Amino acid sequence: MALSVYSLEGKRALITGGGTGIGLGIAQAMVEAGAKVVITGRREAVLQEAVAQLGSHATYRVNDITDKKAIPGLVEDIESNEGPIDILVNNAGIHHKAMAQDTSDEDFERVLQTNVVSVFALTRACAKYMLQRKQGAILMIGSMAGLFGVDKVVAYGTSKTALTGLVNSLVTEYSTSNVRVNAIAPGWIESNMFLNAINKDEKRKQQITNRIAMDCFGQPSDIGNAAVFLSSEAARYITGVVLPVDGGATVNF
């Protein structure tokens, strides 16, 4: 089999929250696979730094994904001024750490608005063009917390579980137009924020490391490589899957 089926040459990807962490790892992997990427986020300085790192195949748009009224204009701007969006990566999201009994309605709704409602709104806006062209790849970035119970993240876990339902529903409507919809469920991926958090909580760190079957945390590039595969022609007959990239955490006892 020719390795060209894994190439994203000639493709353009829109990656939300693409300036740091997993989003930046996905952007880097896609650029290396030949794609042009547009990354979004709320902090322009962070986006500028990321684009400088990614090189000439990257541009950015300052955007708050929760501003749903701005979403159609964002997509139209990119389609008109950058080119067709072939790949959408719904990576941006927020977290709220609290026990269920200490999670307010406002906290719960805020997480679902960002992690589910805004994701649907952006997906719908991009799919409008993809369905007309009869091609496209849409990726949701889920979580281990959407596959099994994790304490202190009731809002986040619920939002990521909801993405599986969103994937399933969209597959039934988009597949006949050759628009594929999949999700990646990252395990515990190294970042400065993650390492600082677990190093302050030895019990939590031990709980996490015991859960992972392999002997290390993941890297943003691990998620990026999976995203490249699911967006490429190599995965042309794959839609409706939730792919854990977790070092075996989903199945480990």
Backbone angles phi, psi at 152, to 5 degrees: 70, 10
Write out the two tokens for 61: 């748009």
Q: Is the pLDDT score of 192 beyond 90?
A: no
Helices of type H across the chain:
21-32, 44-54, 71-81, 105-112, 118-133, 154-174, 192-199, 202-211, 220-231
Q: Where are the domains of the chain?
A: 8-245
Nearest CA to 70 among 23, 125, 15, 14? 125
Nearest CA to 12 among 122, 177, 137? 137
Query: What integer is the mean pLDDT of 134-148?
Result: 97
Q: Is the pLDDT score of 41 beyond 70?
A: yes
Using alpha carbons, list the distances in angstroms from residue 126 to 62, 86, 115. 17, 9, 17
Number of CB atoms found within 10 A of residue 20's CB? 19
For residues 2 and 9, give the distance between their C-alpha atoms in angstroms, rounded to a whole number. Answer: 14
- List 60, 156, 174, 237, catalytic entry: 156
Number of CB atoms found within 10 A of residue 43's CB? 12
Q: Is the pLDDT score of 100 beyond 80?
A: yes
CATH topology of domain 8-245: Rossmann fold (3.40.50)
- Is 156 among the residues known to form the active site? yes
Query: What integer is the mean pLDDT of 41-56?
Result: 98
Write out the two tokens for 43: 């902090």
Query: What integer is the mean pLDDT of 226-244?
Result: 98
Contact 63, 40 (CB under 8 A): yes
User: What's the confidence (pLDDT) of residue 1?
Assistant: 58
Banded pLDDT at 40 (limits 50, 70, 90): very high
User: What's the confidence (pLDDT) of residue 3?
Assistant: 85
